[in-house]
Structure 1
């Protein structure tokens, strides 16, 4: 019985650690944020208006009606797409899946 409880606790801790790690994933570091902001300013992108019945939240899928732009910053090793919101946030999106991976203020 003791080993069953220990095994169960180990599994719970393992899953909690994995969930915590994925929730804390950082795509753009604080050091990279100014470079990304400068890139977006140079692109002269018009912020999008709010999308009815949708909030940009990490893990959600961006609706097809939202036009995504490639984020082509050489300092980033992975490629992402982005959208600039009317509130001034940059929403980073995983290409292909349209899943929000980070929101940069």
Structure 2
């Protein structure tokens, strides 16, 4: 009986963790993404390489990477490997990779 309760408790905690991770996902409205794309086209940046950092949502960019502002958008961007990367400036975590 204890084994079943432990397994059930572990399953519940796993699901709770997944829910917490999903709650941290940032959703960019299509209109806002369009604004960002147009701004990036008008203000082109040279693409940079960041060795050792994978371009995945949640990856953290090092302090040495300069983040650039988009007017009226709280996130910053940088172009890495010719891909526009949106970053939370407070945590420096990637929130979206725009192809």
Q: Same fold (TM over 0.5)?
A: yes
**Deviating runs (4+, > 4 A) in structure 1?**
none
Deviations 1:45-83 (A, max 9, x none): 32323223333222122122221111223xx5xx11110
Change (3 A) 1:10 1:71: same
Aligned partners of 2:52 and 2:14: how far apart in 1? 35
Q: Determine whether 1:93 maps to 2:92.
A: no
Aligned pair count reads 97
Change (3 A) 1:5 1:96: closer
Q: Determine whether 1:54 maps to 2:53.
A: yes
Number of the residue aligned with 1:33? 33
What are the equivalent positions in structure 2 for 1:17-28 lying under 5 Å apart?
17-19=19-21, 21-22=22-23, 25-28=25-28
In angstroms, what is the RMSD of aligned CA positions? 2.6
Q: Determine whether 1:16 maps to 2:18.
A: yes
**TM-score normalised over the length of structure 2:** 0.71
1:38 shift after superposition: 0.8
